[in-house]
Amino acid sequence: MTTMTDASTRFREFRMPDVGEGLTEAEILKWYVRPGDTVTDGQVVCEVETAKAAVELPIPYDGVVHELRFDEGTTVDVGTAIITVDVAPGSGPAERSAPPAATGSAATGSAVAAAEPETGVGTGSGTGAEEKPAGRQPVLVGYGVAESSTKRRPRKGTAASGQARSAARTEAAAAVQAELNGHGTAASAAPRPLAKPPVRKLARDLGVDLATVVPSGPDGIITRDDVRAAAAPTQAPAPVAAAGQGAAPEQVAAEAAAAPSGPAVAGARETRVPVKGVRKATAQAMVGSAFTAPHVTEFVTVDVTRTMKLVEELKADKDMAGLRVNPLLLVARALLVAIRRNPEVNAAWDEANQEIVLKHYVNLGIAAATPRGLIVPNIKDAHDKTLPQLAEALGELVSTAREGRTTPAAMQGGTVTITNVGVFGVDTGTPILNPGESAILAVGAIKLQPWVHKGKVKPRQVTTLALSFDHRLVDGELGSKVLADVAAVLEQPRRLITWA
């Protein structure tokens, strides 16, 4: 006879790990497996996005996927089970006596709240699970309704026949559906429209009552297209325009961010995009930095004609062959030289101990705009690198960021940062400090401008630099010296040698 201990040993739950220091949640971006797939120890089963980066998660054991607990696009707390694996397939019916009960909310009387949170974001209580068909009736898997969990399947080892088990599943489906409708029995409950959490979120955003939508999906499930058709201006369902056709560009972009797999909605006046992942972390960090560290920003306009000539020469240098050589490389080297000449700028403020922490290393952050938002990975020990090594590190940093492969570790421990706003065609800005850092240098667009050179007005390559710094750590004199040194190196790049 199979016991509960045997069942609990057979089915292993893989929980959302903490993939970065201090992270509490992650969004499931993509599943690479489905129920019934065989997995092996170390195999990547899904990709998740934390507040810092996208990370692939490997499964730590062998077996067959029994259940995916959450849909793609669902945000899940660290420590919450996201996938169940049968590690002993073939040893009996793949049935469990009861799923884990909901956490973070009451198991009874709150099924509707658990199944349909206001923001459409799961919090570890089983709010993002997918709706799957079981026999003729859809079974809502993973919502953690304790009252119906004991009815879903008979215990293994009992004398229940296949017909009894089928009846139990049917009864469980009706019980769960009734619970989600807020009624005690299925017989007295009106059928609740079947739709996945992202579809319900879309319906709320568009003001569509799911009860009025005609489903077109399998087993009567409402799809995104069904909701969009119901939201069309006319009463009768109208064809939905393809993405980018019949809709404003900003609307298409916003809808693509909220629902990348679906077309834009023509005529919608507003689109709400959930704040999560990198965007959420960036917003929190910038608010915290702006209202914690007293910012001061200074500006200088400099002739970088000689630096631009050096860039062209380095591109032809055999020692730099195959490396990314651009003005940012020399700006980074100029900032490192300025920090060497003014080491007090490379520091951090320890509020808890009321201390200034002077750092004898430079982890140089580079602000990078990615499809998921702004991230700031840093080059570890940039002060120790030669120019070719710095070029190689910059190239790897940029490529990794664009491909979405930046790890949380690469974004921790930065000391100072460079943000190259010039690539967007603007002259400069007033950058906000990356939290925990003392300074950030903004580099503006390099433009051909009239400039007084050797007593005559000539066309020269000119740019504007802006340095923001934490005035608790850096006073005006020190900040001015650092910015002036950077400008001096870019104006006369031979100082890279004389000041080294």
Domain count, the chain: 3
Ramachandran quadrant class, 359 (left: phi over 0; alpha: psi -120 to 50; beta: rest):
beta
Domain assignment of residue 461, yes or no: yes
Same domain, 167 and 246: no
Q: What is the pLDDT of residues 164-214, one digit of tens each?
A: 444 444 444 444 444 444 444 333 344 567 777 667 767 777 778 888 888
CATH at residue 326: 3.30.559.10
pLDDT in tens, 11-64: 899 998 876 656 678 888 889 999 999 999 989 999 888 766 778 889 998 999
Taking the C-alpha atoms of residue 388 and residue 394, their distance in angstroms, rounded to an integer, is 10
| Contacts with 126 (C-beta within 8 Å, 6 or more apart), sequence order | 69, 70, 100, 102, 114, 142, 143, 144
- Check whether residue 154 and residue 200 sit in a common domain: no
Residues involved in catalysis: 471
Which pLDDT tens digit goes with each residue over 446-480? 999 999 999 999 999 999 999 999 999 999 999 99
Q: What is the pLDDT of residue 115?
A: 33
* Domain termination site, one of 124, 154, 180: 180
- Judged against a pLDDT cut of 60, whether residue 431 lies above it is answered with yes
What's the rounded Cα separation, in Å, for the pair 363 and 336? 10
Hey, is 263 helix, strand or coil?
A: coil
Neighbour tally for 64: CB within 10 Å = 17
The reply to whether 428 and 314 lie within a common domain is yes
Q: Is the pLDDT of residue 385 over 80?
A: yes
Q: Are residues 314 and 424 in the same domain?
A: yes
Q: Both 246 and 302 in a single domain?
A: no
Condensed to tens digits (0 to 9), the pLDDT of residues 312-371 reads 999 999 999 999 999 999 999 999 999 999 999 999 988 888 899 999 999 999 998 887
47/160 same-domain check: yes
Percent above pLDDT 90 for the chain: 40
56 and 93 belong to one structural domain: yes
Same domain, 251 and 355: no
CATH for 240: 4.10.320.10
Domain of 200 in residue numbering reads as: 194-258
Q: CB neighbours (10 Å) of residue 380? A: 17
Between CA 462 and CA 301 the distance in angstroms is 7
Asked, for residue 414, whether it belongs to a domain, the answer is: yes
Give pTM, 2 decimals.
0.54
316 with 383: CB under 8 angstroms? no
Considering the domain architecture, whether residues 169 and 219 belong to the same structural domain is answered as: no
Per-residue pLDDT reduced to its tens digit, 277-313: 666 766 777 777 776 778 899 999 999 999 999 999 9
- Does 187 map to a domain? no
pLDDT digits (tens, 9 = 90+) for 203-250: 777 778 888 888 888 777 888 788 888 876 433 333 333 333 333 433
- 433 has a pLDDT exceeding 50: yes
Contact 457, 331 (CB under 8 A): no
